[in-house]
Amino acid sequence: MSLSIKDLLEDKAYGLDLQLLCGDAGLVNRLYSSRIQKPGLALTGYTEHLHPDRVQVLGNTEISYLSQIPEEVGSRHIEKLCTYPIACFIVTKGLDPPEFLKRSAQGAGIPLLVTHHQSSTFISLITKFLEESLLPSTHIHGVLVDVLGVGVLLLGKSGIGKSECALDLVIRGHRLVADDVIHIKKKMPAALVGQAGETIQYHMEIRGLGIINIKDLYGVSSIREKKIIDMVLELVEWDANQEYERLGIDEPMKTILGVDLPHVKIPVRPGRNLTSIIEVAARNFLLKGMGYHSAREFHEKLLARLEFRPLGNEVE
């Protein structure tokens, strides 16, 4: 994942409040890391630990230093600094950088931007912006619902009844996160957060009815903007020749963005109350999280009874 310096300029949600001073040729430069750097000693010519791929933040200390040293010395150091592929310079507190910094940045095609935020505030804002923007992400076709606090991702082929199950869950008091296309981002170290696209947020498609707005129909308590995905339930058509899990001892996993999630396949056929099964699956997930595994406990008790079963009278 990466984003350009132009993306920083166009930000509205995080309030970075950036303006371009010069170096517009470098707006296509890409950022791959959420970490920033204050150049410090690099302004004196010592560039041993410079990370040019990071945003270089110049605060009051850096600008004061450049303004107080002889212009010839400062210009020489900045020109050396600009020989590196710097992603961009950002000056905080609305300070006016020295002219030799502007000339060198313009000549090297390095964007020089300014924000009115103080350094500490801006570093916090841009770090959060970069962390969110650079997270590994993907899109999945399905439905994401919050059932008893458990993020349940419903998968299955088109028309199998995912949206109808989600609607029934909402009617029972659970919450819709996303229907149809789910945007998933990986939160470090190993959590997946799903949400709907801005255009289809709170909406659901029910065949025969069309598009409905869950928020308008059932209120704000029926929806969530985003949710950590805890488990995957896949709805599959019932196949009499297929063997399905009967005990629940084995725990298959589905890997999304390198994160393993519990994966349960639920066969669909007339007469099965899928909504109740999904609720039970969520409750069972919570129970396992507390250290209780019903299937394994049952299996262990059964083995114990078989092991200590008294032998019957032998018939010769």
What residues are labeled active site?
A: 141, 162, 180, 246
- Residue 149 backbone phi and psi in degrees, to 5: 85, 0
- Alpha-carbon distance of 57 to 285, in angstroms, equals 46
Cα separations (Å) of 44 from 71, 74, 76, 81? 12, 8, 9, 9
Exposed, middle or buried, 88 (CB in 10 Å: 0-12/13-18/19+)? buried
**Cα–Cα distances in angstroms (integers) from residue 116 to residues 31, 57, 244, 281, in the given order:** 22, 13, 61, 51
Taking every pair of Cα atoms in the chain, the longest distance, rounded to a whole number of angstroms, is: 111
Pull the structure tokens for residue 121.
Answer: 């505030």
Those residues with Cβ within 8 angstroms of residue 202's Cβ, 6 or more apart along the chain or in another chain = 176, 196, 213, 214, 215, 216, 223
CA distances from 26 to 92, 97, 100, 110, 113 (A): 19, 18, 18, 5, 11
Residues 6+ positions from 259 with CB-CB distance below 8 Å? 186, 190, 191, 192
Residue with tokens 């296309």: 181
Q: How far apart are the first and last CA of the chain?
A: 76
Rounded-to-integer distance, Cα 17 and Cα 19, Å? 7
Nearest to 81 by CA among 59, 110, 60, 61: 110
Report whether 296 contacts 242 (CB < 8 A): no
